[in-house]
Amino acid sequence: MLVLDRKSPSDSGTSPMRPALEPIQAYKAGMSLAEASRRTGQTHFSKLASNENLLGASPKVGAAVQQALASPEIYPDPYCETLRAAIGARLGVESGRILVSPGSEALIDYLFRAVLHPGDSILLSSPTFPAYEIFGRCAEARLIDVPRRANFDLDVAAFAAEAARGPKLMVLCTPNNPTGNALTAADIETILAATPRSTLVFVDEAYREYHEAFDTLALLDAWGGPWVSGRTFSKAYGLAGLRVGYGVASSEALVGYLDRLRPPFNVTSVSQAAALAAWDDQDHLTRTVALTIAERGRVEDVLADLGVDHTRSQANFVFLRTPAGPEATTERLLRQGLIVRPTPVAGGWVRITIGRPSDNDSLIAALPAALAL
């Protein structure tokens, strides 16, 4: 019998959803080109809101993708053996200590699910990448936040003091998103020296290719506890649309636990082939990273001339305080064809990706009016 007057589940008072999910805000991505067009009626934009590499992936990726597309009926390699071997060989790490995932966000998800019980603690330092808080809350973990200093550097002493209390999981994002600044090797050593080997340390190195100042893996190995370094093909490698990230872990056993809970065929054959081609073209990577860093310097010089507060970014974006406020600046830049990222960080901060030289030319031309009170 058809029941016509049934209430929807949401007003029945007996939602099947976990209460822990109620206070969580779903991740809000940067504005898409389609939304920007809808909002303004314009068709041409520089997309500077999501830290993609607008210089593009290696030209070798296209052919690799074409080849992978020839057999769409075949499941991908569930262990990404070829890609892991290539990554391991260059990093000097056994491939068993590497896990490939559909974006490093998925790696964070697997790791947090594998480690956290309800009530466990996660140590982090805001403002930082929102995924840690989202997945932490999903796991019903307790967030211990040691806020950054006024210049957004990590408060190393305060953070190390919390680390010494042995949180279940500790997150270091370096260079940090959205602030762009990086930890030094000495900072990391100070924190690790205080951290008991019962804590799992996650170092998010999504922007590592822009700041290869020292060997993070060696520091973590020397510490000797369990750790994962998260990396991605989405940023410097220019493959955000294909969703490939990877983690390097302290042991094969740790990867084995993540293998138990991840979906088996989680990285498509197209994505694996694209990542391998991008990984094998280090010349392209080196060129695009060098150009991005040079262009970042050009934008920072303009910020300095305008007297605008900004952080010392070591990534492919700048983080600046706008006198006009983030919403007004974002809207004005949008009208000039520039999509940037307002942030909720107190004081009025905006994050802007470094694009192609022509994108940055447009940005430099538009900034004075967009920032003015």
Binding site for ligand PLP (CB under 6 A): 51, 103-105, 129, 173, 177, 204, 206, 232, 234-235, 240, 245
Q: Which is nearer to ligand PLP, 52 or 371 (CB)?
A: 52
Residue with structure tokens 């093909």? Answer: 233
Least separation in angstroms between residue 314's CB and ligand PLP is 12
Alpha-helical (H) ranges within the chain are 33-40, 60-68, 81-91, 104-115, 131-138, 156-163, 185-194, 216-223, 252-261, 269-280, 282-306, 326-335, 357-371
Distance CA 142, CA 74 (A): 42
The separation between CA 364 and the C-alpha centre of its own chain, rounded to angstroms, equals 25
Q: Which is nearer to ligand PLP, 113 or 302 (CB)?
A: 113
Least separation in angstroms between residue 231's CB and ligand PLP is 8
Burial label, 92 (beta-carbon count in 10 A; 0-12, 13-18, 19+): exposed
Least separation in angstroms between residue 265's CB and ligand PLP is 18
Least separation in angstroms between residue 291's CB and ligand PLP is 20
Q: In the numeric block, which tokens belong to residue 173? A: 């994002």
Least separation in angstroms between residue 221's CB and ligand PLP is 22
Burial label, 60 (beta-carbon count in 10 A; 0-12, 13-18, 19+): middle
Q: Which is nearer to ligand PLP, 216 or 362 (CB)?
A: 216
Least separation in angstroms between residue 125's CB and ligand PLP is 13
The separation between CA 114 and the C-alpha centre of its own chain, rounded to angstroms, equals 20
Q: Residue 287 to residues 275, 291, 314: CA-CA distances in angstroms?
A: 17, 6, 16
Three-state DSSP state, 9: helix
Least separation in angstroms between residue 342's CB and ligand PLP is 16
Q: Which is nearer to ligand PLP, 232 or 330 (CB)?
A: 232
Q: Which is nearer to ligand PLP, 173 or 345 (CB)?
A: 173
| Residue 280 CB neighbour total at 10 angstroms | 16
Distance CA 73, CA 57 (A): 26
Q: Which is nearer to ligand PLP, 274 or 371 (CB)?
A: 274
Least separation in angstroms between residue 208's CB and ligand PLP is 10
Q: Which is nearer to ligand PLP, 51 or 322 (CB)?
A: 51
Q: Which is nearer to ligand PLP, 109 or 162 (CB)?
A: 109
Q: What DSSP designation does 310 have?
A: B
Q: Is there a contact between 155 and 184 (Cβ–Cβ < 8 Å)?
A: no
Nearest residue to ligand PLP by CB is: 103
